[in-house]
Amino acid sequence: MKAIGIVGFKKSGKTTLALKVARALTAKNYRVAVIKHSGKPVPQKLSDTDKFFREVGKVAFITPESTKIMLSEQWDLNQIASLLSADFLIIEGFKSLKYFPKVYCLKDEKEKALLEDGLGLFTASTDPSLKEKGIADYAINEEKDLVEMVAQIEEKGFFLPEVNCAKCGYESCYGLAQAIVKDEESAQKCTYAQKYISVKINGKAVYLNLFMTKLYQSLILGMLTPLKNIDSIDGAVIEIKVDMAGFPNKQNS
């Protein structure tokens, strides 16, 4: 999974840009998910769902078109990202997190220095004069600029697991993230998940984040350890051949 953070101060065009990028990536056939940070509580309108939420703090509201889940606890991005099961994650807000690249949305020149953390791919603004003055790289509402921004996001998006294990040679995921943004390293340098389990489909490695790694581990242990004729699964290579024609709900992916 790839990711891009869209950060900035209030009214800096973050949501406008996030929506445009989400639309453009969806048009390129990515499964896109958005995670938005807010300092404010979720508005409560006292619908039936909200009444249940106030009572127990965990509610799922399911209709034929959509599913809404409300939890009275904060999940980390890795947990949520796995639940959303997307190819591309757009993260709006979360300025302080440092394991994915970012777009800095600006209202003026001084905000650039305040946002700078070595993870910025480029700057953008809803005010076209900032681009004319050379303060922002792109104007958010110019179609040509949007095409260029999306191409950069597509090429350079990444998401590290924020485990800070130092296996990549950097003390923290932030160190590797900065090096990736500078084009000195690639996200494949993060071997944390692959150290424990790796998955290939038709020979092509599949990136697993921390949550998915743990999920696969539990599934494999649960399925294989009860089998009597297996000594050890440590270091094992397990082959699974899939014939979707035999499944009741045929899918291509």
Residues that bind ligand SF4 (CB under 6 A): 160-161, 163-168, 170, 172-173, 176, 190-192
Count Cβ neighbours within 10 Å for each residue of 215-249 and write b for 16 or more, e otherwise: ebeeeeeeeeeeeeeeeeeeeeeeeeeeeeeeeee
31 or 156: whose CB is closer to ligand SF4?
A: 156
Residue 152 CB neighbours (<10 A): 16
Q: Which is nearer to ligand SF4, 18 or 160 (CB)?
A: 160
Shortest Cβ distance from residue 212 to ligand SF4 (Å)? 14
Phi/psi of residue 146, nearest 5 degrees = -60, -40
Q: Which is nearer to ligand SF4, 186 or 225 (CB)?
A: 186
CB of 125 to ligand SF4, least distance (A): 31
Question: In the bound complex, what is the minimum distance in angstroms from residue 102's beta carbon to ligand SF4?
Answer: 17
**Identity of the residue, 44 or 191, whose beta carbon is nearer to ligand SF4 in the bound complex:** 191
Judged by beta carbon, residue 141 or residue 172, the one nearer ligand SF4 is 172
Q: How far is the CB of 166 from ligand SF4 (least distance, A)?
A: 5
Query: What one-letter code names the amino acid at 75?
Result: W
Distance CA 1, CA 235 (A): 25
What are the angstrom distances between the C-alpha of 183 and each of 111, 145, 251?
A: 24, 22, 37
Per DSSP bridges, beta strands 67-71 and 58-62 are antiparallel
Q: Compute the least distance from the CB of residue 60 to ligand SF4, in Å.
A: 31
